[in-house]
Chains A and B, each alone.
Chain A
Amino acid sequence: MEKAVEAKIIESSDQKILSDASNVTKKSSLSWTHALWQSRIAYVFVAPTVLVILLLVIYPLIQGIWFSFTDMNQFNMGSRFTSPSYEFIGIRNYLDVFTGAGTAFYQVLRQSIIFTFTSVFFHILIGLGLALLLNQKLRGRTLFRTLLLVPWAVPSFVSAFSWRWLFNAEYGFFNLVLKKFGYTQIEWLSDPFWAMFAVIITNIWLGFPFMMVSFLGGLQSIPESLYEAAKVDGAGAIRRFFFITMPMLRSVTFTVMLLGIIWTFNLFHVIYLVTGGGPFGMTDILPTYTYMEAFQRWEFGMASTYGVIILSLLIVFTNIYSRMVKSSV
């Protein structure tokens, strides 16, 4: 009896809401200018942000895409004395890139992938390992946690320069150590393999603290009672790791992996400061190569093309990735 009355009340109020809603849509379709006028305050508030984004993000983006279809370089870009004379050349830049004519796209792409995935793999491995250690109730773990954040706290260009010195062939720490123990010294920064090794090591050093902190946060958000329930269920330490810790860290892992890959793929300063892309472009990755195209070879059209390609690769990657995450969670 009571239930029925209640249901009726809900029904009638639903109808009221519905009819209200249809009124609103009718009104707004009558005069959208009226609606615009009504919410004018809101537009005033978002206007500065929209303006800044238009100016700093959208405009350069569109301009960059436009340049990628031109042959713009230092001679035809125009100056105070000459007017610009670069021309629309359609997709010729893109054809050059993908056919490998006159640019080292595939080599640089391969180097980018090696650099990115090796770095992120070790970031996650070291970050997770340290996080697991620091999550134990060890003595002095606060001190260690602080010390392990040092690579992150020091400005990264300072670290990058320090590493360059450590790898220096004549005075560098590593070669001095090798010499002391009677091994042959290594031309760290002029041998293609070791140069890649050096930038990856530097980047691992710079990047693991973020992963460590993320994983530590993830670990600390796992309720202790889950482990206790598992103990009572009879799970030993190894089973608890694989059946509780790992699954509970999954979403953190997915997130930091995505961020890590995007950041590393776009990373410029480490390579620029440690090897400058050398020897002979053997440690260039796409962002540093793009920089060289623009500001060493002054091929702005080609540099823009590379910019657009990097952007597209990351968009495609992010899409595939988020679909993967969605389907697996």
Chain B
Amino acid sequence: MSNLSLKNLSKVFDAKTVVLRGINLEITQGEFVVLVGPSGCGKSTLLRLIAGLEQPTEGEIFIDGVSVAHKPPVERDIAMVFQDYALYPHMTVAENMTFGLKIRKVPKAVIAEKLKTASKILGIESLLDRKPSQLSGGQRQRVAIGRAIVREPKLFLFDEPLSNLDAKLRADMRIDLSALHQRVGQTSIYVTHDQQEAMTLADRIVVLDKGEIQQVGTPIEVYNKPANVGVATFIGSPTMNLFTGELLFEGNKKTFRFGDNALEMGDGFDTPLKPGSYKLGIRAEDLTLGIPENEKNETSIRAKLLVKEVHGHEIQVVAEVGGARIISRVSERDLMSRITGMHKGSEIYLPVHGGNLHWFENTQHGARI
């Protein structure tokens, strides 16, 4: 049985702002599900519907098979970690963490035990008597998570919990959160606009855009088989290269024409079955820099070098093709040293790995072929 189930959930604000429509989702016990999408797409609203902080306009919410859509938060047995932590400023760390238990009239000895366990897991035993104002951002974050785990709820909800931390701390907390989830094993729904966070944390990713679910899948599925242009360009860094053009069939030869470029579809290239107008997506790692001997190849894209972004373990080559940007990731050492010698404006050839092409309909929605 699924732990959380959303059925045809919609939310309309002020009778006109449609924020969510037709959300259907099944989450099984113990899963770590990440809701990801651009800012304003309705992630927080969806989480707040699950928490009971908002009422759905339409649809049903089941937690462990019980319909809770119109019940107050207290009857849902969920815990939530807020973006700004929402720690009670006038209470100590210990009081913050145990407030929910006290309200539920849990015996004092049990509360003390749970507080001890949770603070040990999070490494905040020494902070219990402090007020939130005496804590660093990372410590507050831990306390906010601690407040959620002492309750041992049916569901954990996280609303962009790491977005107020600096990059280094965020990466550390990400690992801690993964470890924590493995240890506690409770169903978690995690909201973020950061696709990298989504990829690294999730058992399953739910991509949300414009109030609708675009795709549900494991991080690898979503990365390798994005359901549409929106998902393709949102997931993955750097952004997937996307070209709009015509696929032409001439005898045995297939060519994709975009701008003044023609990319020949070589052996082993994935292509649609019919000629026509398409969007072609190529991830940066599926483009390399041509090696001198066969640089000028029909299955390469000809481009002008714009910028070389050095990342240490790789160089991201940003080039221009037909007025659009194209990004390639170069990580072999000899290619990296070759690119360092090149100047802005140099003509380069980027051979394409034909096995990982992403074809989309040339429409607004751009569904995957």
Contact with A along B26-70 (1 / 0, CB 8 A): 000000000000000000000000011100000000000000000
Task: Give chain A residues whose Cβ lies under 8 Å from the Cβ of B88.
Answer: 226, 229-230, 243-244, 247
Contact with A along B69-93 (1 / 0, CB 8 A): 0001110001110111011111000
Tell me if A236 is interfacial: C-beta within 8 Å of chain B.
Answer: yes
Question: Cβ of A250 and Cβ of B90 under 8 Å apart?
Answer: yes
Contact with B along A227-240 (1 / 0, CB 8 A): 01111111110010
Tell me if B100 is interfacial: C-beta within 8 Å of chain A.
Answer: yes
| A228-B103 contact given A234-B73, A236-B74, CB 8 Å threshold | no
Bound-state Cα–Cα, A234 to B72, Å: 9
Tell me if A248 is interfacial: C-beta within 8 Å of chain B.
Answer: yes
Question: Cβ of A229 and Cβ of B82 under 8 Å apart?
Answer: yes
Bound-state Cα–Cα, A236 to B100, Å: 11
Closest residue on chain B to residue A225 by CB atoms: B86
Bound-state Cα–Cα, A247 to B96, Å: 14
Tell me if B104 is interfacial: C-beta within 8 Å of chain A.
Answer: yes
Bound-state Cα–Cα, A243 to B87, Å: 12
| A234-B89 contact given A225-B84, A243-B99, CB 8 Å threshold | no
Question: Cβ of A232 and Cβ of B103 under 8 Å apart?
Answer: no
Bound-state Cα–Cα, A165 to B119, Å: 66
| A232-B84 contact given A239-B103, A243-B99, CB 8 Å threshold | no
Tell me if A223 is interfacial: C-beta within 8 Å of chain B.
Answer: yes
Tell me the minimal C-beta distance from A96 to chain B in angstroms. 49
Task: Give chain B residues whose Cβ lies under 8 Å from the Cβ of A239.
Answer: 103
| A234-B84 contact given A243-B99, A250-B90, CB 8 Å threshold | no
Where chain A touches its partner, the secondary structure class is: helix
**CB proximity to B under 8 Å, residues A239-256:** 239, 243-244, 247-248, 250
Tell me the minimal C-beta distance from B164 to chain A in angstroms. 12
Question: Cβ of A233 and Cβ of B99 under 8 Å apart?
Answer: yes
Question: Cβ of B82 and Cβ of A233 under 8 Å apart?
Answer: no
Bound-state Cα–Cα, A247 to B89, Å: 9
Closest residue on chain B to residue A329 by CB atoms: B90
Q: Which of A231, A244, A247, A250 contacts B73 (CB 8 A)?
A: A231
Task: Give chain A residues whose Cβ lies under 8 Å from the Cβ of B53.
Answer: 228, 231-232
Closest residue on chain A to residue B90 by CB atoms: A247
| A232-B89 contact given A223-B84, A225-B84, CB 8 Å threshold | no
Contact with B along A207-226 (1 / 0, CB 8 A): 00000000000000001011
Task: Give chain B residues whose Cβ lies under 8 Å from the Cβ of A244.
Answer: 88
Bound-state Cα–Cα, A243 to B96, Å: 11
Question: Cβ of A229 and Cβ of B74 under 8 Å apart?
Answer: no
Tell me the minimal C-beta distance from B157 to chain A in angstroms. 8
Tell me the minimal C-beta distance from A185 to chain B in angstroms. 51
Tell me the minimal C-beta distance from B110 to chain A in angstroms. 16
Question: Cβ of B80 and Cβ of A232 under 8 Å apart?
Answer: yes
Task: Give chain A residues whose Cβ lies under 8 Å from the Cβ of B72.
Answer: 231
Task: Give chain B residues whose Cβ lies under 8 Å from the Cβ of A243.
Answer: 88, 99
Task: Give chain A residues whose Cβ lies under 8 Å from the Cβ of B51.
Answer: 228, 232
Question: Cβ of B103 and Cβ of A233 under 8 Å apart?
Answer: yes
Closest residue on chain A to residue B83 by CB atoms: A225
Bound-state Cα–Cα, A223 to B87, Å: 10
Tell me the minimal C-beta distance from A17 to chain B in angstroms. 27
Task: Give chain A residues whose Cβ lies under 8 Å from the Cβ of B86.
Answer: 223, 225-226, 228-229
**CB proximity to B under 8 Å, residues A283-298:** none
Task: Give chain A residues whose Cβ lies under 8 Å from the Cβ of B82.
Answer: 225, 228-229
Give the one of B52, B82, B151 with max A CB within 10 A: B82
Closest residue on chain A to residue B159 by CB atoms: A225
Contact with A along B146-158 (1 / 0, CB 8 A): 0100010000000
Tell me the minimal C-beta distance from A232 to chain B in angstroms. 5
Bound-state Cα–Cα, A239 to B86, Å: 17
Closest residue on chain A to residue B75 by CB atoms: A234
Task: Give chain A residues whose Cβ lies under 8 Å from the Cβ of B99.
Answer: 230, 233, 235, 243
Bound-state Cα–Cα, A250 to B90, Å: 10
Question: Cβ of B90 and Cβ of A234 under 8 Å apart?
Answer: no
Task: Give chain B residues whose Cβ lies under 8 Å from the Cβ of A232.
Answer: 51-53, 73, 78-80, 100
Beyond A223-B86, A232-B78, 9 additional pairs, beta carbon < 8 A: A225-B84, A228-B80, A229-B82, A229-B147, A231-B53, A233-B100, A243-B99, A244-B88, A250-B90
What are 10 A-B contacts defined by CB distance under 8 Å?
Answer: A225-B83, A225-B84, A229-B86, A229-B88, A230-B99, A231-B74, A233-B100, A233-B151, A234-B73, A234-B74
- The 10 A-B pairs at the shortest CB distance, nearest first, are namely A233-B100, A225-B86, A229-B86, A247-B90, A234-B74, A234-B103, A231-B73, A232-B80, A232-B73, A225-B82
